[in-house]
Amino acid sequence: MKTPKPESVILQTLLDAEPGVVSGAALAKELGMSRVAVWQHMEKLREQGFQFEALHAKGYRLVGRPATLNPALIDAYRRADRAPGVVHVLDEVDSTNDEALRRLSNGDPTPFVILARRQTKGRGRFGRVWHSESGNLYATFAFRPEVEPARMQTFTLWMGVNICELIAKFCRTDPGVKWPNDILFEGRKAGGMLTEARMDADRIRDLVFGIGLNLTPPDGGWPAELAERAISIGEYTRQPVDPNRFAAALTGRVFAAYQKFVDGDYADEFADLWNRHDLLRGRNITLLQGNRTVTGVAKGIDDEGSLLLKPAEGPVERFRAGEVTIEKKK
Ligand code: BTN
């Protein structure tokens, strides 16, 4: 792990001590610097929206933190969790996927993740626009996986159930995955995933995994075209989600899930998690693939991650890709 910035160490020390206080002398000792230098770093944190209570002759307590993504705070949470990987936090970017692809092309070492407060050209599947105002989470993880391309078909599904599991534990709620890349609450979309791989002959050169997650509704409410279809975790649970704590936990979970995937050590857990979070099994669905439409009952997935669909007539069919609509229960 790289050497932490003094701001991260101050935050981590104060977070570790909560609800207690930490003396200026203890912070100075932890950082190996003078109390004046510590105070200057605390000033920098105040400028970013942190608030400290100074208790006479006792020390400091963290009493306020910024509402938007903050690199020092994410780093502090991640250090407490000993999370691997490198995190870059940007204020604004066209698309975190595009930024990650550019950095991979530049030869940046992997793994890393780009988090952005907002995107100006957020992209979804099929070239759709991903609504990317500030307040929600836009993240892209970048890897150079040394695995056979054929195995990558389950990658997004494996990541999806890991993220559902994280949301379930972190927010005490129960999201589901709609094959292949949506995260839903009660039929409304709270998140979407976009995995893009670049190939060299028959091997994967590099891969980005993008996730957009709605933590809160946009300030002015959802745009009309999304109002019926979108939901945020905060709206569903009626609890605000701390974006920094959540982002730190997300990075830890995704990097760990990636490692299990690369090590090939995930099949049993994947089957369990898929059964827990699969929203389609047993439901009547319609799948659109190119200009073909198939309606039937969803029967889970096979070992390669293909969707199994039993039409009214004929045997179960497998689909590697496509867009699913869930039919309303009668
Ligand atoms: C979809 O549901 O169609 C996938 C949406 C993926 C959106 C995320 S937001 C972070 C990353 N950057 C992008 O431009 N897209 C993905």
317-319: strand order across its sheet: 317-319, 307-311, 292-301, 284-289, 323-326
163 and 44 in a common domain: no
State the pLDDT at residue 186. 86
What residues pair up with 204 in beta bridges, in sequence order?
199
- CA gyration radius for the chain? 22
Whether 32 is in a domain gets the answer yes
Measuring from atom 11 of ligand 1, which residue has the nearest CA?
210
92 and 233 in a common domain: yes
Any atom of ligand 1 within 6 Å of the Cβ of 254? no
Q: Which two tokens stand for residue 79?
A: 């250090």
State the pLDDT at residue 330. 65
Name the band, by pLDDT with cuts 50, 70 and 90, for residue 171.
Answer: confident
Whether 48 is in a domain gets the answer yes
290 and 263 in a common domain: no
75 and 59 in a common domain: no
167 and 47 in a common domain: no
State the pLDDT at residue 218. 82
Q: Residue 252 pLDDT > 90, yes or no?
A: yes
CA of 310 to the centre of ligand 1 (A): 30
Q: Are 197 and 127 in contact (CB under 8 A)?
A: no
H or E, element range at 299: strand 292-301
Whether 210 is in a domain gets the answer yes
CA–CA distance, 184 with 176 (Å, rounded to integer):
5
Residue 45: half-sphere exposure toward Cβ, Cα within 13 Å: 26
300 and 271 in a common domain: no
CA of 65 to the centre of ligand 1 (A): 27
Any atom of ligand 1 within 6 Å of the Cβ of 198? no
CA of 100 to the centre of ligand 1 (A): 13
Decide: residue 109, CB within 10 A, 0-12 exposed, 13-18 middle, 19+ buried: exposed
Number of domains in the chain: 3
Domain end residue (candidates: 21, 41, 64): 64
Any atom of ligand 1 within 6 Å of the Cβ of 306? no
The CATH number for 14's domain is: 1.10.10.10
304 and 241 in a common domain: no
Higher pLDDT, 269 or 220: 269
Q: Residue 1 pLDDT > 70, yes or no?
A: no
Any atom of ligand 1 within 6 Å of the Cβ of 130? yes
Any atom of ligand 1 within 6 Å of the Cβ of 175? no
Mean pLDDT calculated for residue range 242-251: 95
Query: What is the share, in percent, of the chain residues with pLDDT greater than 90?
Result: 79
Domain end residue (candidates: 17, 47, 64): 64
Any atom of ligand 1 within 6 Å of the Cβ of 196? no
267 and 192 in a common domain: yes
CA–CA distance, 286 with 311 (Å, rounded to integer):
9
What residues pair up with 130 in beta bridges, in sequence order?
none
Reading phi first (left if > 0) and then psi (alpha if -120 to 50, else beta), residue 275 is in: alpha
CA–CA distance, 139 with 142 (Å, rounded to integer):
10
Whether 1 is in a domain gets the answer no
Higher pLDDT, 217 or 267: 267
The CATH number for 297's domain is: 2.30.30.100
Mean pLDDT calculated for residue range 302-318: 95
270 and 127 in a common domain: yes
Q: What mean pLDDT is reported for the chain?
A: 93
Q: Residue 83 pLDDT > 90, yes or no?
A: no
Distances 124 to 10, 128, 200, 210, 259 between C-alpha atoms, Å: 38, 5, 24, 9, 25
State the pLDDT at residue 11. 96
40 and 173 in a common domain: no
CA–CA distance, 182 with 128 (Å, rounded to integer):
14
Closest-lying ligand 1 atom to the alpha carbon of residue 189: 2
- For 135-158, the pLDDT digits (tens) are 899 999 999 998 889 889 999 999
State the pLDDT at residue 225. 84
H or E, element range at 197: strand 188-200
Q: Residue 2 pLDDT > 70, yes or no?
A: no
Q: Are 226 and 169 in contact (CB under 8 A)?
A: no
Any atom of ligand 1 within 6 Å of the Cβ of 180? no
Domain extent, residue 31, equals 6-64
Any atom of ligand 1 within 6 Å of the Cβ of 194? yes
Q: Which two tokens stand for residue 1?
A: 């792990």
132 and 105 in a common domain: yes
